[in-house]
Amino acid sequence: MSTHILRSALLCLLWTAVRADYEDLRGRQFCAARPDPQCCQSRDDDCSVPIEGTKCYCDQFCDRDVRGDCCFDYKSHCLQIPEPPEEIKQCYFEGQYRMAGERWDNNCNTCECKFMVDHMDVMCTRKECLIEENIIDDINRNERSRGWRAGRIETFWGHSLDEGFEKRLGTLYARKPVMNMLPKEIYVEEGSLPASFDAIEEWPNYVTPPQDQGWCANSWVWSTIGVASDRWGILSRGEYAGLLSGQHLFSCNSKNQKGCSGGYLTKAWNYILKFGLVTDECLPWTGDTPGRCSITKKPQAKFAKCPGSTRNDVLRRIGPLYRITGEEQIMKDIMEKGPVQATMRVYRDFFVYKGGVYKCPEKSRRLSNVPLKSQHSVRIIGWGETTEYGRREKYWIAANSWGREWGENGFFRIARGQDECNIESFVLAITYNTKIKCLSRTEDPTSPAMLNQHRLRFLSIKLVLLIYPVL
């Protein structure tokens, strides 16, 4: 069998080479390049032109039968018979013609129109794409039973499935001691929780919108920044409302973190607790390389100079970190203090989610104990119930970091109370010391009063770090 394949391959290569040489000879001048007379009557053996180690002829005798030895341009030049039109070499692919040698992108794959022995054919790479129309169609055919719908995300079009898993997640699995962190005890009085709650409706000026992490596996940054920013605004009662700097956390929290290849949530939170963050206004996102930290990195620093500016910004510290377990406990913490951070497993169909209450595929449930290289982290901002598909469904409302085109304007709903995709397994939140007044936009961070306030805050943070060592 292998000998047959090898012979076929050699014949194919030989034919391709011969055909290429033949096409090259057809385009050259022979009779037209002779000195006069260029064309000869009857038989004249001297009426010839050298060609590839032999001769071709430009006399009438050369055109005697099918075995003639005329030069390629004898009929067109000597007999004035036009050459037949050259065969158009093209391929027909998905409703349009492509010329020989033409290359084009087909979603995440590259295709080329090629001559294959005796016919034209389209050859494409065979990568699995992040967006596949057949998967979207299959989900939507069963929308009612699934409880959610899929759609094409233009931002993801042209990218492979491997790229999605490698560059659109980015939260590394916590080490065993961290996973064994004891949860905070939260008492929930029976009947005290409403059927629905949305942090955006409760605190419209403080909850930040979904961000877009781009093609960088750093959901660890944006879920952390989102929860920190939201809770800073909520728990400080509006003394500061806005987005903290994702660039600051990404660039400066580089020790044992992997930048665009993933990061640990607890290390991110401990950085904020120890060093603090400036605002996004002070240091906006640029995607600059991790490790190139442009902000002062000292535990005792109270404020930092904004890069490229004379302006100073307070380093906002928030913490310590705690873990929450239990559906009602998570709900109560959100209702009283703001959004929480959750990690989840991501499967292929989640990339095409466009609305409804998401559930992991059944086969994914059976694989729940299979370790993955990384997971995804998001913000849970509320909860609710729906009967959209004829049955009661409880859900969480969560903010993703894949931009506003994805999902429900950047948000998604996922089944609540059954640890769907492990989203209830590792939920984190942070506190904020409201006894220490934060700096308003009009106050001078270098004033004696502000410096004294920062000294008090620094002492309280040192005490917290002694109680909660870095994980």
Looking at the annotation, which residues are catalytic? 376, 400
Which residue shows structure tokens 């943070």? 461
Q: How far is CA 93 from the centre of its chain?
A: 28
Q: Which residues contact 352 (CB under 8 A, 6 or more apart)?
A: 131, 135, 136, 139, 150, 151, 152, 153, 156
162, 127 Cβ separation under 8 angstroms: yes
Which pairing describes strands 109-116 and 119-124: parallel, antiparallel, or unpaired?
antiparallel
Instruction: Say which DSSP state 349 is in.
Output: G
> How is 255-304 classified by DSSP, letter by letter?
TT--TTB-B-HHHHHHHHHHH-B-BTTTS----PPTT---S---TT--EE
What are the φ and ψ backbone dihedral angles of 262, each rounded to 5 degrees?
120, 165
Residue 451 in 3-state DSSP?
helix
> How is 456-470 classified by DSSP, letter by letter?
HHHHHHHHHHHHS--
349/353 Cα distance (integer angstroms): 7
Burial 327-336 (b: 16+ CB within 10 A, else e): bebbbbbbbe
